[in-house]
Chain A
Amino acid sequence: MNHQPFRDWLLSEEKLSADQIEVLQEHLQSCESCKQIEGAWSEVEAAFHEVPQKNPAPGFIIRWKANLADYQAREQKRRGWMTIGFTVLIVTVLFGLLTTQLWSLLQAPGSYLVAWFNRLLSLVSIFYTLQDLFRPLTGNAPVYTFLGMFFLVGMISFMSVLWVATYRKLSMERRFV
């Protein structure tokens, strides 16, 4: 006998039609196996309802706070190590660049000094070109004043942004901690 459709009906949560219930009842009267499944499932459901909710052992919140503090300490340590790692990387790169420069100075000091002198000259020529370019804007004022003002405005803007960001961060922490 094929028990599958009857077991599907027995274990399904969907409502059966009157005809289906009648057929199922007829089958259950003649089939011991399906009858046992029906009885067992009813008992399982009853057992589920009787079992009370489990509570954690007292002090769950205290243990949670300790766990959280551990996690935060670990995170802080990890961030510290990351900052150190990043700094070491940058220092290494800079040191490498400096070493190559020093190496070429030691290999051929004459040509190296000439090369640096040429670079200095090109910087001076760039400066004079810029001075000529900005003369219509700056008038008779020397280009140093213009560059100084440019630098000053840039610094003020940067400091303002930094101040706003710090203020926001500090005020947010104070509000919610």
Chain B
Amino acid sequence: MNTMEPDVLNQVQKGSQEAFTQLVETYQRPVFNLCYRMLGDANEAEDASQETFLRVYKNIKHYDHKRPFSTWLLSIAAHHCIDQLRKRRMVVVSMDDLPYLDPPDSSPGPEATFYLRENQKKVEDLLKSLNPHDRAAVVMYYWYDFSYDEIAHSLSLTVSAVKSRLHRARLTLAQTWQKQGAQNFSTERKTHESPAF
């Protein structure tokens, strides 16, 4: 992941908007990616990323230089996404109402694009099977190479809690993958079967 020059961070803390724009430019991709993995929707991920940067803007004076900036930033994003997922449980939204504004992938060909999209969908469904905290731990561990310690710090958990959450999440993911495989197999059989049968 990209890192920020300490000088730029100092300027950001002193209130420079130019430096803050530079910061947004540097971290827009990792923040958006984390939000997308957490929320599974491009529009919600966009809103969550914008809100994350606004929270960072409001609280930049509290940032402690001893801690890596990316860890601090992504922990804000993760906490916001966890809150959003908790709120979402209470609101029922029709999936048809949500437009899918995903930028096109620059893939070599239609087959590869199809394969990637399928894989992407599978991973999204897999992540949805986890509770918000477990999902955040998995995303930080597998996409951002966070250590157990960093995840614990970011999610306000103990290291042993992170380990046990990740272990539980792996088992859930493996079991969900098995179920998905079984469902896909039965769907494939149904589509290839003759309607007469």
CB within 8 Å of B: which residues of A? 7-8, 11-13, 36-37, 40-41, 43-45, 47-48, 50-58, 60-61, 63-65, 67-68, 71, 172-173, 176-177
A interface SS class: helix
In the complex, the answer to whether A64 meets B174 with C-beta atoms within 8 Å is no
Task: For B18, list chain A residues within 8 Å (CB).
Answer: 176-177
> Is the CB of B122 closer than 8 A to any CB of chain A?
yes
Interface positions of B from 92 to 107, Cβ below 8 Å from A: 101-103, 105
Q: Is the CB of A54 within 8 A of B36?
A: yes
Q: How many residues on chain B are close to A (CB under 8 Å)?
A: 47
- Would B122 and A47 count as touching, CB distance under 8 A? yes
| Cβ-based interface call for B156 (8 A) | no
Whether the pair B29, A68 counts as a contact (CB closer than 8 A) is no
Given A40-B181, A44-B177, A61-B28, is A68 in contact with B14 using a C-beta cutoff of 8 Å? no
Q: Roughly how many angstroms separate A63 CA and B24 CA in the complex, as a whole number?
A: 11
Contact residues in A for B54 (Cβ distance below 8 Å)? 67-68, 71
- New contact pairs (14) apart from A44-B177, A54-B36, A56-B29, CB-CB < 8 Å: A7-B171, A11-B167, A36-B178, A40-B178, A44-B170, A47-B119, A48-B143, A53-B29, A54-B45, A57-B46, A58-B103, A61-B25, A67-B53, A176-B19
Q: Give the chain A neighbours of B120 by CB distance below 8 A.
A: 51
Q: How far is the CA of A92 from the CA of B144 in the complex (A)?
A: 57
- Distance in angstroms from B142 CB to nearest chain A CB is 5
**Inside 8 A of A61's CB, which chain B residues have their CB?**
21, 24-25, 28
CA distance A36 to B179 in the complex (A): 11
Q: Determine whether the beta carbon of B167 is less than 8 Å from that of A12.
A: yes
Least Cβ–Cβ distance between B144 and chain A, in angstroms: 10
Say yes or no: A176 contacts B15, CB within 8 Å.
yes
Among A41, A63, A65, A71, the most chain B Cβ lie within 10 Å of the Cβ of A41
- Interchain CB contact under 8 A, A64 and B50: yes
With both chains docked as a complex, state the minimum distance between the C-beta of B48 and any C-beta of chain A, in angstroms: 11
**Is B21 a contact of A54 with CB atoms below 8 Å?**
no
A56 pairs with B123, CB closer than 8 A: no
Q: How far is the CA of A65 from the CA of B25 in the complex (A)?
A: 11
* Contact between chains at B16 and A176 (CB < 8 Å): yes
- Given the interface contacts A47-B123, A61-B21, does A55 sit within 8 Å of B177 by beta carbon? no
Interface positions, chain B 1-25, Cβ under 8 Å from A, are 11, 14-19, 21, 24-25
